[in-house]
Amino acid sequence: MGVKVMVLGSGGREHAIAWKMAQSVEVAEVYCVPGNPGTAEEIKVRNLALKPTDADQVVAAAHALDIALVVIGPEAPLVVGVGDALRRAGIPVFGPNAAGAMLEESKAYAKAFMERHGIPTASYGRFTDRGPALDYLRDHPLPVVVKADGLAAGKGVVVALEHAEAEAAVHRFLQWGPIVIEEFLEGEEASFIAIVVDGQVLPLAGSQDHKRLLDDDQGPNTGGMGAYSPTPILDTAMSERVLREVMRPAAQGLVTDRTPYCGFLYAGLMISTAGPKVLEFNCRLGDPETQPLMMRLRSDLYTLLLTAARGDLLPKALDWDSRTALCVVLAAAGYPEYPLTGDPILGLDTMHGNAVKVFHAGTATRDDTVITAGGRVLGVTALGDSLTIAQQRAYAAVANLHWPGLQYRQDIGHHGLRRS
């Protein structure tokens, strides 16, 4: 008969997780809370119109449907303690409790955690008032990085090249709450994600996100404009170093701090000739890194995450497709600051074939037509025998999709192509 699982969230990450979960022979149905028009079209997947941050609703639905496993996709349900509520109700859940999610909820908390456990990161200061923050800026060289301390959907970061830009970011972010000002790190960014269960660390394949809106890493920071996996910057030697210097100390640090943890742990890295330094920790899969990772993963995702949720011994390694997967994010006009929504999306009916998959991120339906409903709208993801082939396939598919003001980067994978 198979079991029923639940995935909380409505973005491209959750579409990819649900799609992969549904491929398990152990799974009969996947319920997405609330899901999106893309998940609604997947085999064995159904949407539930519930709030993923409403713990009472989620627990009640999980009990009523006899859910075998709940996977929490985005950060908001983690931070408000939906994982805590599910565990209290005796429902297996993959995703950390609110205490573990503090690593993502607060930049300053994460920086203090890294200092405490010897994890390499940039020097920083935390501020709640404008005067001390501006004094700190005057004493530090440019560029400098200004961050909102709390959650900001990937848009609470400014890399300031001039003092006026840094001061403007300080003024803006202090309206939301505390801020962190960091040393600017030179190098190449990469994403290292692992399953962490109370000291156990099982790494996923390496990936690389593209945070800036425009080609050649220009323009404002976004939630991510595309990603690919694997990435040359995280070769075997560097991956072992990240495990040794970042991931294992973080997992052991959580144990030392008596913070139970079961979930993904994402380290956003800056890698230079001096080695890796952590830019940020997230307590869930990255988006859009999830899309190429799920395209490449051959291991059964359901049995893997259920093993983790039970606290059992994790496998030593995962099975990955040897090919490269590359995701191009298609964003709405005005993204990231003021995305325009409500435009019909043309060309979705042309997306066919096993090598290309379109994951919905910010979509809705109106009169049976799929429309834009968020900043990042679609993630067009392709597999190829090389990074070049994956890139060509993804962009060939992108060319068939249209709506007014559609914007996307045309150079996803450029760092990898230069290295190869």
The Cα–Cα gap between 130 and 260 comes to 36
pLDDT at 245: 98
What is the rounded average pLDDT of the residues 121-134? 90
Q: Domains in the chain and their CATH numbers?
A: 3-97 (3.40.50.20), 123-183 (3.30.1490.20), 187-309 (3.30.470.20), 324-419 (3.90.600.10)
Q: Tell me: the pLDDT tens digits for 374-409?
A: 999 999 999 999 999 999 999 999 999 999 999 999
pLDDT at 155: 64
Say what percent of the chain tops pLDDT 70: 99
pLDDT at 36: 98
Kind of pairing, strands 179-183 and 208-209? unpaired
Quick check: 329 pLDDT over 80?
Answer: yes
Quick check: 153 pLDDT over 90?
Answer: no
Say what percent of the chain tops pLDDT 90: 82
Answer with the residue of higher pLDDT: 337 or 195: 195
Q: Residue 246: CB partners within 8 Å, gap ≥ 6?
A: 119, 120, 192, 267, 269, 276, 278
pLDDT at 120: 96
Q: Tell me: the pLDDT tens digits for 192-225?
A: 999 999 999 999 999 999 999 999 999 988 989 9
What is the rounded average pLDDT of the residues 341-366? 93
The Cα–Cα gap between 229 and 247 comes to 19
Q: Residue 159: CB partners within 8 Å, gap ≥ 6?
A: 143, 144, 145, 184, 221
| pLDDT band with cut points at 50, 70 and 90 for residue 154 | low
What is the rounded average pLDDT of the residues 222-250? 96
| pLDDT band with cut points at 50, 70 and 90 for residue 149 | confident
pLDDT at 21: 98
The Cα–Cα gap between 22 and 5 comes to 9
What is the rounded average pLDDT of the residues 36-65? 98
Answer with the residue of higher pLDDT: 160 or 397: 397
* Phi, psi values for residue 280, rounded to 5°: -165, 155
What is the rounded average pLDDT of the residues 108-124? 94
What is the rounded average pLDDT of the residues 240-254? 98
Token pair, residue 200, equals 């156990």
- On average, the pLDDT of the chain sits at 95
Quick check: 139 pLDDT over 90?
Answer: no
How far CA 94 is from CA of 155, 223, 232, 284, in Å, comes to: 26, 23, 30, 10
Angle between helices 301-309 and 12-21 (to 10 degrees): 100
Token pair, residue 339, equals 């995305």
| pLDDT band with cut points at 50, 70 and 90 for residue 307 | very high
What is the rounded average pLDDT of the residues 228-239? 96
What is the rounded average pLDDT of the residues 92-119? 95
Nearest Cα to Cα of residue 328 among 372, 265, 382: 382
What is the rounded average pLDDT of the residues 119-135? 91
DSSP string, 99-150: HHHHHHH-HHHHHHHHHHTT--B--EEEESSHHHHHHHHHTSPSSEEEEESS
Quick check: 353 pLDDT over 90?
Answer: no
